[in-house]
Amino acid sequence: MSDERISDYIDSQRERGKSDNEIRQSLLKAGWDVNDVDSSLFRKPETSTAKLGALGPVDKLKLLFFSPTAFFRSVADEKNYFPILLFFAVTAIILSVVQSVFSIIAAIKYGAIMLAISFGVTVFTLIVTAVFVWIAPFIGAGITHLGILIVGGKNGYFNTFKPVTYSSIIGLFYALLNSIVSTTYALMMPAITVPTATYQTIPAFSIMGISIVIGIIGFIHTLYVEVTGISMFHNMSKGRALVGALLIPLIIVAAVIGLVFVAFASYFGVLNPNGTIPEKCVFPTMLTCQDYQITPTSISLTLMNGAGKDMTINSISAYGEAVIGGCINDAPIQMSAGSSKIVTIPCSLDPAKITSKKKYTINAVYVLSDGTVTHSLTGELFAKGG
């Protein structure tokens, strides 16, 4: 195998996701001279950084889009953040302007109000874009780099920043394509006039399907370019690079989905503690609550005298979250030892609130038959009514 054949073999193996170390070991095991292998494996890229710098922006983008391996080899000598960031920022701002123009053109069809709204949104978007393009690459690369570290990447943050930032440009072009297709579709389709509105509304047919298809293609293309660069600069297989690139984003997406699920479940009562905590009606001593009933106008308790002596309940009251007005029964209630009696407390309760479990504090003032001292006893009712 000549030096040229070694180089061709190295290129083919890199395309398949093999790391440089794996390729080197394979060649050495096949009996090739270590100097020939190393000189071919670690040669300077054929397209040097200087040569790439001489290329126009369009040629750079073409190389990035259609030959990512060659592109990343050509920028292997880049050591500074600013040229990479500048190329990304300028591209992003230009594409944002073009996208905004298409949005305004589409809005013209739907009247002055929609045009004014579109123009305001466009100005705001351009301002945000002009600021965010200098920050977003560092955030995106930082998230990705955490995953790369987990799968064994050891070549530093910069070697993640470079492929992540360059590959993000791919996604920007697909976003523009989505905007152009959506605008063209909107201009071709008839609009529906809403009787209560003074302007025309959205096209009769949804473009969501087209947007989803373009978005999926753009994601796959962007991810492929990103993984290609990460694999090269971190000297790892494309499989490991793919896992590292997706690991943290997938964890974040899973966490967000989990939080949304918890929020919805809590809102609809699925995870509401009141839905799982059993109902109860208890007093610490003397009285035993055997049953209860809650209505918008009263709280009824079936109480048993467990004091071992006759007692007179002089008054019994209740208060809680669902109570609107006073809840009190101050008519004396005679209870012999061991007997049970239904005690009704007239109340004004919120009908909407009593349909779910609520806590009520019950306060009973009583006196035993063999004494004259008045005692106070506090119990708790946790239940729902109807």
Q: How confident is the model at residue 45 (pLDDT cuts 50, 70, 90)?
A: very low
Q: What is the pTM of this model?
A: 0.60
CATH 3.40.50.1370 fits 277-383, yes or no: no
Of residues 188 and 174, the one with the higher pLDDT is 174
What pLDDT was estimated at residue 206? 61
Cα 362 from Cα 165, distance rounded (Å): 65
Distance of CA 125 to the CA centre of its chain: 22
| Cα→Cα distances 196→43, 201, 218, 315, 344, Å | 70, 11, 39, 61, 55
What pLDDT was estimated at residue 112? 79
Q: Where are the domains of the chain?
A: 78-266, 277-383
What pLDDT was estimated at residue 43? 59
Residues 6+ apart with CB under 8 A from 24: 37, 38, 41
pLDDT tens, residue by residue, 340-364: 999 999 999 999 999 888 999 999 9
Residue with tokens 């003032």: 365
Is 337's pLDDT higher than 70?
yes
Is 335's pLDDT higher than 80?
yes
CB atoms within 10 A of CB 336: 12
Q: At 346, list the tokens.
A: 């007239």
Q: How many CA atoms lie within 13 A of 103 on its CB side?
A: 21
Is 42's pLDDT higher than 70?
no
Residues 6+ apart with CB under 8 A from 373: 367
8 Å CB contact between 274 and 264: no
What pLDDT was estimated at residue 55? 65
pLDDT tens, residue by residue, 83-126: 999 999 999 999 999 888 878 877 777 777 877 887 888 888 88
Proportion of the chain above pLDDT 70, given as a percent: 86
pLDDT tens, residue by residue, 227-282: 999 998 998 888 999 999 999 999 999 999 999 988 877 766 566 555 667 899 99
What pLDDT was estimated at residue 149? 95
Is 201's pLDDT higher than 60?
no
Q: At 377, list the tokens.
A: 């006893």
What pLDDT was estimated at residue 49? 45
Nearest to 297 by CA among 348, 345, 343: 348
pLDDT tens, residue by residue, 116-162: 887 888 888 889 989 999 999 999 999 999 999 999 988 899 999 99
Q: How confident is the model at residue 325 (pLDDT cuts 50, 70, 90)?
A: confident
